[in-house]
Chains A and B, each alone.
Chain A
Amino acid sequence: MKKRSMLWLAALMLVLSVFLAACSGGGEKAGTKKEENNGKSGETAGKPQDGGTLVYALDSQPKGLFNWTFYEDTVDFEVLDLFDENLIDYDEHLKAVPHIASWKTEDNKVFDFEIKKGVKWHNGEELSVKDWEFAIYTIADKDYEGSRFENVRTILGAQDYHDGKTDKIEGVKVIDDYHIQITFDKARVNNLDNVWTYPLSRKEFEGIAVKDMLSSEQVRSKPVGLGPYKVTKIVPGESVEMERFNDYFGGKPHIDKIVVKVIDPSLSVGELKNGTLDMTSFHPSIIEQVKALDNVNAITYPGLSYYYVGFRLGTWDGEKNVMNEPKYQNKKLREAMYYAINREEWVKAFFFGVGKPVNRPVPSNHWIAADNKEMPQYKYDPKKAKQLLDEAGYKDVNGDGFREDPNGKEFVVNFSHYATQNPTFEARAKALCQYWEEVGLKTKLAMTDANLYYDLLDKADKSMEVYFAGWSTGTDPDPTGLWSSKTLWNHPRWVNEESDKLLDQALDIDVVGTDNNKRKDLYVQWQKLFMEDLPGLPIAEIDETMAVSKRVQGTKFDVSGKNRPNEWWIKQ
């Protein structure tokens, strides 16, 4: 009898567990009709309320370099952004706008900056331009180990200081605590976009040698900033606690405390649902699950990256690109491969509804982006693709169903895609292969480990014939670093005199002066040229995705990121 009841218990447990599984499956489907706010979370209730604690999640561990001068990755950036400030800000088209600092310039060579009075560091000191001067000197120091020297190199005399030839940077002149004059080595249109505009507290780093700063507790465990929240406690690799900074120059923040925690991405939906997490960015693949939550808004806002398929047109000779690889030189072949791809369908299938096809190597929301209507469209048209291939002489001569090259030899598209743990990568790469096979181009796919992938591209390795890649761009719109014939990261090894000329002119102060429209015109011409010459096939751009609890109000997102956290508040 006893045995019997135990068996029953076991059976009951089994049945119960089935119910449990069914419940969790159904829960995700329930409530599919959730509105999706673009850029804003509900601004329903009017007046901001003070108080509350906001929990913000990071999907991986920060490195713990909590200082603008030393940080490297986006995870540290997310934390820094909450408690420290840039002196200048960027609007929704990524144009520089005054923030703490405003500036005047006649010739784009000499800039006069003025900073607001009464801006306080978390340690109570008032911000002075000398803190900015200190940051520039630190970065230019030969012992500085970060990667920011590029951002001060253009200042007159910075290179000499870095090389130890002088002990003063000629181009940095402090006038008083609120005024500083910065002179660049020559006039450039993007001097302001490029220069380092983050101050470093002199008081905090007093007496610390530059080479010891990186491991100092001022960077690691007790950072000090200018932002709306100040750090109270850091548990390395796990959490950062912040509390309201009442003297924030932009106005007293509403929320009492912000807790930044590292939460494994597999748990974020559950935490959001439980209300134990208020704000996090998330991977677009779980957007449906986030949208299904009643208490959370899934927010999408434009990102700054684009993906493209590149062709290896040449090689890198150590100093410049040489376009000497014959296989894909035929423009009709490249055009045909573009027409063969159904980008609408592909983006819908693999970018989870948060991406869109793109027709230029510049993200749509950048102010230099050309109007989509002006661009060649290359709409999905397999017939046209076949016709182009026929014209170019790629015909099936041996009857195996695939085209041979104009000389009658076997033609195989060797396509590479990077591989990480993400299982959708192989599927989306295969889908591209399929498009090409449908127009008769035999395609072979190689998935390459992501750690090796860009190395191979940098070396112009022969195995990377046709490849999938993405770039994210910063606030500086200039594509020279990625597409000029002299840059390493021009991975297709595209050499085009016209392109180089346009890119140079757009930076040339004598041509464009300080007129942004003139500059944009040149970039539009360049984008047209790119789309006509097709060294790569721009495929798609993807939106950033952010989950924000409905109790959090006053948040705004645009291409430049979040609004300042002092404007956020929590509905009590």
Chain B
Amino acid sequence: MLKYSLRRILGMIPMLFLISIVVFTLAKLMPGDSLSGEIDPTNTNPQYIAEMREKLGYNDPLPQQYLRWIGNFVQGDFGKSTRFKLEVSAVVGERLPNTLLLGLTSIVFTYILAFIMGSYAGRKPYTFGDNLIGGLNYLGLSIPSFIAGVFAIFLFSFTLGWFPSNGSVGIGLTDGTFEYWLSRLHHVLLPALVLGLLSTASYTQFLRNDIIENSRKDFVRTARAKGTPERKIYNVHILRNSIIPLITFLGFDLVAIISGAIITETIFTYPGLGQLFLQSVGTRDYPVLMTLTMLFSFLTLVGNLVADILYGVVDPRIRLD
């Protein structure tokens, strides 16, 4: 296992290197740079723009720009955001807690809902309840998040007034107090619900199918023949077996939690990494853009590794060496 993990981690290095080339090239291929776009003649002038281009090194040949960037990157210097004029690590650090909170909450929602709906549907397959759950799930899967987000705001914020429609924390609270955290939670619930609901479908259906499949296995028939109560068969024997494959999803969730939700965060004006990513594309903030993409790529690779290792852990038939 250890050998396998080490081999995979070593294998990531060339992969990340190749990704960095692609990320850099794609970023630079976008038309314009951080100084182009609409000009405000009251605030700037051509000399200043030319000077800044020179200073930021936009005039150097691309390979040289790449080497400079990757060289600093490897040493942990991610550069300075051209938009915020701050170190990228500081900009990302400001938003990371928000994104983590949102991601974790939405995952909790997903797990709870998927667990309840999946086990119900699996136990009573092909009934009306199962079909209703299936229908709702596919509805959720097919509603785009920007529609769901706006509709949720209209209903729960504007009409019912249950949740705030924007921001990550209320006004006038001192950091760290109980009210502060309560307000953070209050703000995160609605976007998390929207995010979580929409991704419930795959988990639910996965769990449902697994339960159905397991319920036809020999050991279940034996248990029934022994006279074990139906409830115990489902809650103990089948559920345990069916939940194991779900654990492997954890690896992928890791990425989903960090990468944030670009659209949901934007609609809820929730300052997280997803929103930051979208804005840095719009303003050609290369340092932030490239750092985030590299971070997401790295996490995807790690997530895959975690998933593979977990497969081996929960199912001894899979050998990793």
A65 CA / B150 CA spacing, docked (Å): 31
Q: List 9 A-B contacts (CB under 8 A).
A: A61-B279, A147-B52, A215-B85, A237-B94, A270-B153, A450-B38, A455-B32, A458-B46, A472-B40
B308 located at the interface, meaning its Cβ lies under 8 Å from any Cβ of chain A in the complex:
no
Give the size range of A's interface with the partner: 35 or more
A458 CA / B38 CA spacing, docked (Å): 12
Of the listed stretches A84-92, A261-269, A351-359, A533-541, name the one at the interface; the rest are far from the partner chain: A261-269
Interface residues of A in 476-529 (CB under 8 A from B): 481-482, 487-489
A149 located at the interface, meaning its Cβ lies under 8 Å from any Cβ of chain B in the complex:
yes
A235 CA / B44 CA spacing, docked (Å): 28
B28 located at the interface, meaning its Cβ lies under 8 Å from any Cβ of chain A in the complex:
no
Chain B residue at smallest Cβ distance from A235: B169
Which of chain A's residues have a CB closer than 8 A to the CB of B128? 3, 6
Interface residues of A in 259-286 (CB under 8 A from B): 259, 261-264, 266-267, 270-271, 273-274
Query: Least Cβ distance of B220 to chain A in Å?
Result: 28
Which of chain B's residues have a CB closer than 8 A to the CB of A401? none
Which one of A6, A72, A261, A473 lies within 8 Å of B166 (CB-CB)? A261
A241 CA / B45 CA spacing, docked (Å): 33
Known interface pairs A149-B48, A215-B86; A239-B40 also in contact (CB < 8 Å): no
Which of chain A's residues have a CB closer than 8 A to the CB of B279? 61
Is the beta-carbon distance between A489 and B169 smaller than 8 angstroms? no
Is the beta-carbon distance between B85 and A266 smaller than 8 angstroms? no
Is the beta-carbon distance between A150 and B48 smaller than 8 angstroms? yes
B177 located at the interface, meaning its Cβ lies under 8 Å from any Cβ of chain A in the complex:
no
Of the listed stretches B107-115, B193-201, B230-238, B264-272, name the one at the interface; the rest are far from the partner chain: B264-272
Chain A residue at smallest Cβ distance from B81: A63
Is the beta-carbon distance between A150 and B32 smaller than 8 angstroms? no
Q: Which 3 A-B pairs have the closest CB atoms?
A: A451-B32, A474-B42, A452-B31
Query: Least Cβ distance of B187 to chain A in Å?
Result: 10
B71 located at the interface, meaning its Cβ lies under 8 Å from any Cβ of chain A in the complex:
no
Query: Least Cβ distance of B130 to chain A in Å?
Result: 13
A263 CA / B158 CA spacing, docked (Å): 14
Query: Least Cβ distance of A493 to chain B in Å?
Result: 14
B57 located at the interface, meaning its Cβ lies under 8 Å from any Cβ of chain A in the complex:
no
Interface residues of B in 85-101 (CB under 8 A from A): 85-87, 90, 94-95
Chain A residue at smallest Cβ distance from B166: A263
Chain A residue at smallest Cβ distance from B282: A451
Size of interface on B: residues with Cβ below 8 Å to A: 50
A235 CA / B83 CA spacing, docked (Å): 17
B144 located at the interface, meaning its Cβ lies under 8 Å from any Cβ of chain A in the complex:
no
Give me the interface of B with A, judged by CB distance under 8 Å: 30-33, 36-48, 52, 83-87, 90, 94-95, 128, 132, 150, 153-154, 157-158, 161, 165-169, 171-172, 266-269, 271, 275-276, 279, 284
Query: Least Cβ distance of B81 to chain A in Å?
Result: 9
Give me the interface of A with B, judged by CB distance under 8 Å: 3, 6, 24, 61, 63-65, 70, 72-74, 145, 147, 149-150, 214-215, 220, 233, 235-239, 241, 257, 259, 261-264, 266-267, 270-271, 273-274, 449-452, 454-455, 458, 471-475, 481-482, 487-489
Which of chain A's residues have a CB closer than 8 A to the CB of B268? 264
Is the beta-carbon distance between A238 and B43 smaller than 8 angstroms? no
Which of chain A's residues have a CB closer than 8 A to the CB of B275? 237
Which one of B132, B150, B161 lies within 8 Å of A266 (CB-CB)? B150
Is the beta-carbon distance between B48 and A471 smaller than 8 angstroms? no
Which of chain B's residues have a CB closer than 8 A to the CB of A149? 48
Known interface pairs A450-B38, A481-B41; A266-B46 also in contact (CB < 8 Å): no
Which of chain A's residues have a CB closer than 8 A to the CB of B36? 451-452, 454-455
Is the beta-carbon distance between B83 and A63 smaller than 8 angstroms? yes
Query: Least Cβ distance of A288 to chain B in Å?
Result: 19
Which of chain B's residues have a CB closer than 8 A to the CB of A235? 167-169, 271
Which of chain A's residues have a CB closer than 8 A to the CB of B31? 449, 451-452, 455
Is the beta-carbon distance between B95 and A473 smaller than 8 angstroms? no
Is the beta-carbon distance between A473 and B41 smaller than 8 angstroms? yes
A262 CA / B269 CA spacing, docked (Å): 7
Which of chain A's residues have a CB closer than 8 A to the CB of B44? 147
Known: A238-B271, A271-B165, A489-B39. 7 other contacts (CB 8 A): A238-B169, A257-B172, A262-B167, A263-B166, A472-B40, A472-B41, A487-B46
A475 CA / B41 CA spacing, docked (Å): 11
Query: Least Cβ distance of B133 to chain A in Å?
Result: 12
